[in-house]
Structure 1
Amino acid sequence: MTEPESSLLDRRRLATKLDIAAGAARLFLERGFEATSVEDIARAAGISVRTFYRHCDAKEDTLTPIVVAGIRDFVAYLADRPAEEPVKTSVHAAFVEAFRRDRYAHVVPTRDLFVVLTSVPGIRARWMVAANELTDELRPVLGERAGLDPQGLEARLLSHTLIGALTVALEYWVTAEPEPADRGDVTDLAAAALSVIRFERL
């Protein structure tokens, strides 16, 4: 297979996965996760059940491609920040950019996505696994900015701590009840989460 053919196939696969994600998210929000079947999702996406299983092992996997894309966008924006910028400033700016420029918001509105991610245990587990695996992509970018050996223990801990802090901020954004009067928006919550992390070496 030539490179253009491979690229076209990849785009088609991604388009199908996004159709699946859009249909699944809408149904999960309208009916609930348990009341939504794979057949329902396939019908909403305009595909066969067989095609569904070529792209997803189970309905819990339907939103994973959007989660992965969001984290990768965050890492890319972080890599593009000015080298002289303080690490915490760069991380927050990259988060804000990834959140506000969410390229899949037209597929699943951002807040709706996180409502589903946090409310369905099986989907939340996939989110946690994907985030954990992508720390390997974050680590060299974050490690270089923080003056850490990308392969060292500190860089590994910092990458996992950062992903964990941002995850908690996102979960709090959609689950805190009753809603705190001073909660602010999600970017404020991200800044608060980042304030407890030490990015520079002592």
Structure 2
Amino acid sequence: MSTAQPAPSSARPATLTERRKAATELEIARTAAALFAERGGAVTAEDIARAAGVAPRTFYRYFRTKEDAVAPLLTWGVRSWTERLAELAAREPELPLGEVLERAAREALTPADARAAEALEWTRGLLHAMRDNPALRAVWHRAHHESELALTEVLARAGAAGPLEVRLAAAAADGALRAAVEVWAAGESDEAPAELAVRGLRLVGAGLPWLAQRRGPGAG
């Protein structure tokens, strides 16, 4: 999954202070993810602060708990495919949404460089640590809930379906992506996470046939 910093939600450019704050937050999140992946729940907030090169008081200025420290990385990771989805759906308005979902998921879960591959491995380690850490699991599920909400907005703009169908599709698609990463992290399949996600999305599409319909002026 991508670890790139997302664009600010506002149209105005971020200030230097905001950029520095975001960079510090992201560095702490990356450090926390690496330490949790390596040591599991034995990691402390002080360990994370020390490894990130910040004072403990600075850590607590950004995060309430050690588990919260991984939230930015997970949130940006699981939402990277939503951003790709929105871009692709707008760029190719006649492409069926099922295909848009698959292509966006494949791009999001195929590391583009060494740092992205490292982030995916951190996610694997985090998922292992989550088995004995309910607080970490809560952060993971919260990130996916945010992803589902964003996905609902994208599908509502791009598709010709009612609110129930859109919400169901968003929940199922996000669930397919989450399940794919969890199956891969657990070593339950030899397939890459991108391939597992595409297979899961095709299962979702089989139950939601409107996702396979062409969109735009030529649809019908």
TM over 0.5: yes
Q: CA deviation at 1:47?
A: 0.6
% of aligned pairs identical? 35
Are 2:154 and 1:141 aligned? yes
Contact 1:25–1:108 (CA under 8 A) maintained in structure 2:
no
Letter in 1 for 2:202: S
CA change 1:131–1:102 in 2 (3 A) is farther
User: C-alpha distance in 2, partners of 1:125/1:108?
Assistant: 23
The answer to whether the 8 Å contact 2:36/2:125 transfers is: no
User: Following the alignment from structure 1 to structure 2, what is the Cα–Cα distance between the partners of residues 27 and 100?
Assistant: 23
In the TM superposition, 1:70-89 aligns within 5 A as 70-81=77-88, 82-89=92-99
Query: Which residues of 2 match residues 21-170 of structure 1 at below 5 A?
Result: 21-33=29-41, 35-81=42-88, 82-100=92-110, 105=115, 108-120=118-130, 121=133, 122-149=135-162, 152-170=163-181
- The alpha carbon displacement at 1:126 in A equals 0.7
Alignment of 1:179-194 (within 5 A): 180=189, 183-194=190-201
Runs of at least 4 residues of structure 1 off by over 4 A?
101-104
Structure 2 residues not aligned, in runs of 5+? 1-11, 212-220
TM-score (normalised: structure 2) = 0.77
Alpha-carbon shift at residue 99 of structure 1 (Å): 2.3
Q: Which range moves more in the overlay, 162-171 or 8-17?
A: 8-17
TM-score scaled by structure 1? Answer: 0.83
Q: Deviations over 1:109-157 (max 9, x none)?
A: 31222321353232222111121133222112123333124xx122112
Which segments of 5 or more consecutive residues in structure 1 lack a partner in the other structure? none
- Aligned-pair Cα RMSD in Å: 2.4
Higher RCO structure (Cα 8 Å, ≥6 apart): 2
**Matched residues in 2 for 1:73 and 1:108: separation?**
16
